[in-house]
Structure 1
Amino acid sequence: MKTTLEDISPVKKKLLIEIDSKEVDKRLNHAYGEIRKSAKIPGFRPGKVPRKILETYFGNQVIDDVTRELISDSFPKAVDEAKTFPLGQPILEKETLKQGQDFNYSAIMEVRPEFEVKDHLGLDVEKEILSVSEEDVQKRLEEIREANGKMVPIEEERQIRDGDFVIVDYEGFEDGQPIEDVKSSNLLVKVGKNDLHPKFDEALIGLKKEDETEVDIDFEKDFYHAKLAGKSVNFKIKTADIKELVLPELNDEFASNLGADLKDLDSLKNELKTAITSQEEKRIDSEIKQRLLEKISEGIDFELPEVLIEAEINFSFKRLNDNLERSGSSLEKAGITEAGLRKEFRPASEKRVREMLILDCIAKQDKIDIDDDDLEKGYGKLAESMGQDIETVKKYYEARGQLDSLKEELLKEKTLNYLVEHANVTEMEKDALTQGEGLEQEEK
C-alpha cells in the first residue's frame, strides 16, 4: 500500500491511497470462492460454478463488497502512515475495482490546525474579590418569596399600573393583515418586565379590565422572534383581568415551610448565603479563566475546522430544541427558523472551538494529562453534584461510552487551573473590575 498526503488548506488534507493489484486479486478470488460454495445456478452443481458465470450473476455485488472491505481495512493504516488524524467523516473518491489492477482511492478530510502557543504563562490578570452582602441575601429571599406568592384578582376597579399582572388577548397585524402565529389568548403579562417589547407594556398602563387598545411597534431586524423581526406591527390588545401577587410574610413559619432542615428565618438566610457564596466562587473562577483565555487568544491566528464548528452548532441547536419540546413549545411556535438559529449560534461556536484547540495545544506542549487520580477526583465531584455514589457515576459514563468526553472536560479544567496557577493575579473589587473592562471595550 502506498499513501500520499496533500495539503488543501491548513485544516483540510487529501489522502491518496494505492492498493497493490496482488491484494486486489487476492480479495476478489476469496470473495468469489465464498460465493461459489453456496451459489445455486441452474445447470451447475453446487461448488462447481465457473468464475465467469459467477461474475455475470454476482459481479456488481462482489465489486461493491470488496471495495468496502479494502477501504475499511486500509484507511486506518493509511492514516497512521501519513501521521494524521481525520476529524469527522472523510469524503471518499474511488475508482472502480478491477481484477489485475491497482486500486486507487482518496479521502478528503479536515484535521486539527498546527500552531504553537507562546507566552501563555506569567500573564497579568484581574480577579474579582468574593463578596456576598446582606443585600444579596435579601434579594434572593425576595425571589423565593415571589416564587411562593399567590396570584389573586384585584378587587377594586382601578387602572393598570407598573408591576401589575394582566391577562391579555392580542393579535399582531402587518399592513392590515393578521400575522400567522402572532396571536395569544389569556397571556399573563407582568407590566414593566417587557417580555415582548417595552411599548407593549406601556400600552397597558392606564387601561382597566376588559378595555381594548392598539399599539404600533417597529421591531429591530435582529429581534429574537423571526415572524416579528424587521417588521412594523400593529397589535390589537384586550385586557381580560388584572391580578396582583400577594407575597407571604418573611418569618420563621415561611422558612420552615420551605424545608424540614430549616428551623427559622435565620437558618434560611444562612443557607442562602452559603449557596450564593458557592455560586459566586464558581462565577469568579470561570471569569478569571475566560480572561486568561482571551489574553492568550489575542496573539494567535489559525484556521478553524468546519466540522468542529458544525458539531458545536449542532449541540447548541439540539439543546435548545429539546428544551422547547420539554416546555411544550417548538421552533415554529416560537417563530424561530433553524437557519436563523444556526447563524446566530455560529460566532459563539467558533469561539468555543478556538478556545478548545488552544487549550489542547497548551496541554500537549506543557505535557498536561489526566491520570487515574484526576479521573477519580472527577468522579467524586460528579457524584457529589448528582447526589449519587462514585460507582454509580462510573457505570453511568462507561455504559454510555462517555468516558473520553469526561476526560476531555477534566483535561480542559486542569489546563485552565494550570494557567491560573502560573498567572500574576491581581484581586479587585467588582465595581473597579467592571469599570476597567468597560474602558477596554471602548478602546477596542
Structure 2
Amino acid sequence: MAVNVEVLEKLERKITLNVAVSDIQGEIEKRLKRLAKSVKMDGFRPGKVPLSVVAQRYGSSVQYEVLNERVGEAFNQAVNEAELRVAGQPSISEKDGAAEGFLDFEAVFEVFPQVQIADLSDLEIERVSVDVDDAAIDRTLDILRKQRRTFALRGKDEPVQDGDRVTVDFEGKIDGDPFEGGKAEDFAFLVGEGQMLKEFEDAVRGLKLDESKTFPLAFPEDYHGKEVAGKTADFLVTVKKIEAANLPEITDEFAKSLGVDAATVEGLREDIRNNLEREVKFRVQARNKQAVLNGLLDKSELDLPKASVQSEIARLEEGAREELRQRGIKDVGNSPIPAEIFRPQAERRVRLGLVVAELVRANELQAKPEQVRTHVQELASSYEQPEDVVKWYFSDPQRLQDVEAVVIENNVTEFVLGQAKTVEKTISFEELMSSQGGGVVA
C-alpha cells in the first residue's frame, strides 16, 4: 500500500498511520494471560490470579506498551516503504476520524537532506608540509636536557641570569592597595622560560642575592585574573636564593638513561627524529584536514535537520557541564548555561557530518580494516609497550569507532585534495608546533 507523505516545511514531513484495534486488543490479551501465570498478588496463589484482576491492575500499562510498539512498527514500515531517511525522533499523536476498527495517528518528523556538493575541481586549498630538520632535533635534545637539569647555588655576588631558578618574596599593590594573588613568599620560578610575565622577569634578571627592586607591572587586558586585567601594579621583589642550572652533556650515557634501544648519541637522534616525524604527520594531517573541511562547507548546500542540531546542542551542553564538574564546580546541573551559545558550533558539526557522510557514500571512502589497524599501530608506536596499546584499542568497540572516524576523515581529506586545486606551502617546524602561552605567573 502506497504511503502518503505530506511535505510540511523544508525537511519536515507528515504521514498517517493506521493500526487495527483487533491487533492491539489481541496482543494485550496475550500479554495479560502470560502475566497472570507469573504475577504474585496478595490473596492468590502464584499462577491463580484471575485474568480480570490482572487486567485491572496491569491493563493500562500493558495497553500503553502494546500501543507504542504497534505504532512504532507501523511508522518504521511506512518510512521504509516510502524510502525516507528519518532524522531524529518523530512526534506522534492520535488523529480523529479513523475508520471503524482502526486507530489513526499522525507522525510528524524530519528527513535527512539532499546534500549538494559543487565541483571540487574549482576548490583551492592550501596544503602544508613540514620537514623535520637537524635544528628541530637539537631543540628537542635541549628540552630533554632541561628536563634532567640539576641546580647549584650561585655565588653571593653572581647576578640572576636566564636559566636560573630563583626564589623570591614579592608583593604587588594597585593604587596603594594589595590585591588577591599579588603577594608570595619563597616563590620559585625559572627565569627566561615564560613562567612569569615579562616585566617581572626583566626586574629580577641581574639582581644579586638579598637585593630588592620596585617596578611597575601592567597586566594584559586578557590576563586570567579578571580583577587585575588591564591594570598596572607596583611590585616589590626580593631575591632570596639563586640557583644556576647544570645541563647534562649529550653522551651515549645520556642516551642510555633515556631508555633508547640503541644507547648512542646517533641512536638517540634517530629516535627523536622518528618521534617528531610521527607527531608532525598527525599535526599536518589535522591542519590539512581542517582546510579541506572548511572548503567543503563553502562548496556545499543543504538544509539542516532541527532535531539533529538540537541533539548536538544537548551533547555540547552536557560536555560543558562535565568539564565544569571536573574543575570541581558544585551544582553543575543547576548552573544556567544558555543552550543557544552552542548553536553555531552544533550547526557546523551537523553540516560537516552530513557533507562528509555524503562524500563517503558516493565515493566509497569508508575505513577499511587494514587502515584502522595501521592507524592504531601508529598511535601505539610512541609507547613503551605498543602491543599492549593495540590490544587496548581493539578491546573496546567505542575506541575503534573513534579511530574509524579519524580514518574516514583522512580518506575524505586525501580524496578532496586529489580533486581540488592545491597550493603547496612548506612551513617551519616551529610554526607547526608553536602554541600560545600566557599568564605575574604567565
Same structural fold, with TM-score higher than 0.5 when normalized by the shorter chain: yes
Q: What SS does structure 1 have at the residue aligned with 2:261? A: coil
The answer to which structure, 1 or 2, has the higher relative contact order (CA under 8 A, 6+ apart) is 2
Verify: 1:376 aligned to 2:370, yes or no.
yes
3-state SS of 1:254 partner: helix
Q: Are the aligned partners of 2:285 and 2:410 in contact in 1 as well (CA < 8 Å)? A: no
In structure 2, relative to structure 1, the CA distance for the partners of 1:391 and 1:187 (3 Å cut) is: closer
- Paired with 2:329 and 2:182, the residues of 1 have a C-alpha distance of 11
**Alpha carbons 2:165, 2:190 under 8 Å: kept:** yes
Aligned match for 2:418, one of 416, 421, 424: 421
Which residue does the alignment assign to 2:105? 104
Task: Identify if the C-alpha distance between structure 1 residues 63 and 237 changes in structure 2 by more than 3 Å, giving closer, same or farther.
Answer: farther
Select 1:306's aligned residue among 305, 309, 331. 309
- Number of residue pairs aligned between Structure 1 and Structure 2: 412
Q: Is the 8 A contact 2:18 2:74 kept in 1?
A: no
Does residue 1:267 correspond to 2:267, yes or no? yes
Aligned with 1:102: secondary structure?
A: strand
- Which amino acid in 1 is paired with 2:354? L
Q: Which residue of 2 aligns with 1:143?
A: 143
**2:363 corresponds to which residue?**
366
Question: What one-letter code is carried by the residue in structure 2 that aligns with 1:102?
Answer: L
Give how far 1:375 is off: 1.0
Partners of 2:249 and 2:186 in 1: CA distance:
29
1:173-252 alignment runs, 5 A limit: 188-195=188-195, 197-198=197-198, 201=201, 220=221, 241-252=241-252
Shift of 1:116: 1.0
Q: Identity of counterpart residues, as a percentage?
A: 20
Separation in 1 of the partners of 2:235 and 2:64? 64
* SS of residue matched to 2:105: strand
Deviation at 1:117, TM superposition (A): 0.7
| Separation in 1, partners of 2:234, 2:12 | 51
Deviation at 1:270, TM superposition (A): 3.1
Q: Corresponding residue for 1:440?
A: none
SS at 1:104 equivalent? strand
Deviation at 1:119, TM superposition (A): 0.9
Q: CA deviation at 1:115?
A: 1.8
Q: Which amino acid aligns with 1:409?
A: V
Secondary structure of 2:116 counterpart: coil
- Kept in 2, the 8 Å contact 1:3–1:18? The answer is no
8 Å CA contact retained: 2:20, 2:101 = no
Indicate if the aligned counterparts of 1:140 and 1:272 stay in contact, CA closer than 8 A.
yes
In 1, Cα distance between the equivalents of 2:275 and 2:242?
A: 35
- Contact 2:123–2:421 (CA under 8 A) maintained in structure 1: yes
Corresponding residue SS for 1:245: strand
Partner of 1:277: 277
CA–CA distance in structure 2, aligned partners of residues 48 and 263 of structure 1: 81
Residue number in structure 2 paired with 1:439: none
Distance change (3 Å), C-alpha of 1:105 and 1:351: closer
Distance of 1:272 and 1:278 partners within structure 2? 10
Residue-by-residue CA offset, 1:355-388 (whole Å, 9 max, x unaligned) = 3332222222334334xxx212321331353257
State the secondary structure of the residue aligned to 1:132: coil
Distance of aligned partners of 1:217 and 1:24 in 2 relative to their CA distance in 1, 3 Å threshold: farther
Q: Compare 12-21 and 389-398 and name the one that shifted more.
A: 389-398
How big is the shift at 1:121?
3.7
Which whole-Å CA distance do the structure 1 matches of 2:171 and 2:94 have between them?
Answer: 61
Question: What is the CA deviation profile of residues 250-297 of structure 1, one whole-angstrom value per residue up to 9, with x for unaligned ones?
Answer: 334323322342443233223323433343344444434433333332
Structure 2: which 5+ residue stretches go unaligned?
432-442
Segments of structure 1 that go 5 or more residues without pairing to the other structure are 435-444
Shift of 1:122: 6.6
Alpha-carbon offset, residue 120 of structure 1 = 1.4
Supply the distance in 2 between the matched residues of 1:2 and 1:185 (Cα, whole angstroms): 82
Counterpart of 1:410 in structure 2: which amino acid?
V
Q: Are the structure 2 counterparts of residues 75 and 276 from structure 1 closer, same or farther at C-alpha, using a change threshold of 3 Å? A: same
* SS of 1:250 mapped into structure 2: coil
